[in-house]
Amino acid sequence: MDDLNKNKKGHLHPMTQMINEINSIFSDMGFEFADGPEMESEYYNFDALNFEKNHPARDMQDTFWVKDKENTVMRTHTSNVQIRYMENNKPPIRIIVPGKVFRNEATDATHEAQFYQFEGLMVDETTTLGTLKGVLKTFLEKFFSKDVEIRLRPSYFPFVEPGIEVDMSCFSCEGKGCSICKSTGWIEVLGAGMVHPNVLKAGGIDSEKYQGFAFGVGIDRLAMLKYGIDDVRLLYQGDLRFVNQF
């Protein structure tokens, strides 16, 4: 009888559990939850984020354009919320934005046309890359329940300057080399950078006085790493044999 009742009880989907866990870790660091539209104007998805008109980066993201609605896209990242939030709030700003994003690409074991991302944004007078590094290290250590090292590598995203890729030391082999880190000891986890002055301006924030960082992480990727899932599609098929393992 007990067993029967237990089997009938529902539980949160692993993605929801993961989003709740991420929110909770960032909430402990003073970040607030923020939210925005999934169907978005080209302005908030690209223009205000310093993507030049006709810049290849707009195609790079394999955008879904909405039929019969001019200049409207399914958002390609959660960064649209950066601008919307800055328009309505003054620094200091600390937000975390989990949500669905859309890319028009073929699906395979590591790519879905719709997936979950979370965005972080912090803006005040003294935010630096050092602050960013500390916040991300704290997050990753809590999330993977392991001490980790963080490595920053230069990269390019239109909305940040400088842009960086963030690697963490492998939580599985602790740097010795294994299949998860492809024997390098490091795992690429996210993209980040200092918010570009043009983006602050678009948000109505004085870029002389304030600075900030932003980062974006694939929640699917974190889930795959944390639970050793090798096919991202499992997260979205609603197969109870899979979902009930969490």
Cβ distance 187 to 179 under 8 Å?
no
CB of 84 to Zn ion, least distance (A): 38
Residue 204 to residue 92: CA distance in whole angstroms: 13
- Out of 155, 172, 198, 207, point to the residue binding Zn ion (CB under 5 A): 172
CB of 143 to Zn ion, least distance (A): 16
**Smaller CB distance to Zn ion: residue 150 or 180?**
180
Q: Does 181 bind Zn ion (CB under 5 A)?
A: yes
Copy the structure tokens of residue 116. Answer: 């979950």
Stretch that binds Zn ion, among 77-85, 95-103, 175-183, 223-231 (CB under 5 A): 175-183
Residue 95 to residue 35: CA distance in whole angstroms: 9
DSSP letters of 174-225?
A: TTS--TTTTTSSEEEEEEEEEEPHHHHHHTT--TTT-EEEEEEEEHHHHHHH
Q: Does 173 bind Zn ion (CB under 5 A)?
A: yes
Binding residue count for Zn ion, defined by CB under 5 A:
6
CB of 137 to Zn ion, least distance (A): 18
Residue sitting closest to Zn ion (CB): 170
Residue 243 to residue 246: CA distance in whole angstroms: 6
- Out of 170, 217, 224, 232, point to the residue binding Zn ion (CB under 5 A): 170
Burial 176-204 (b: 16+ CB within 10 A, else e): eeeeebeeebbbebbbbbbbbbebbebbe
CB of 179 to Zn ion, least distance (A): 7
- Out of 29, 129, 150, 178, point to the residue binding Zn ion (CB under 5 A): 178
**Smaller CB distance to Zn ion: residue 162 or 177?**
177
Instruction: List contacts with Zn ion (CB under 5 A).
Output: 170, 172-173, 178, 180-181
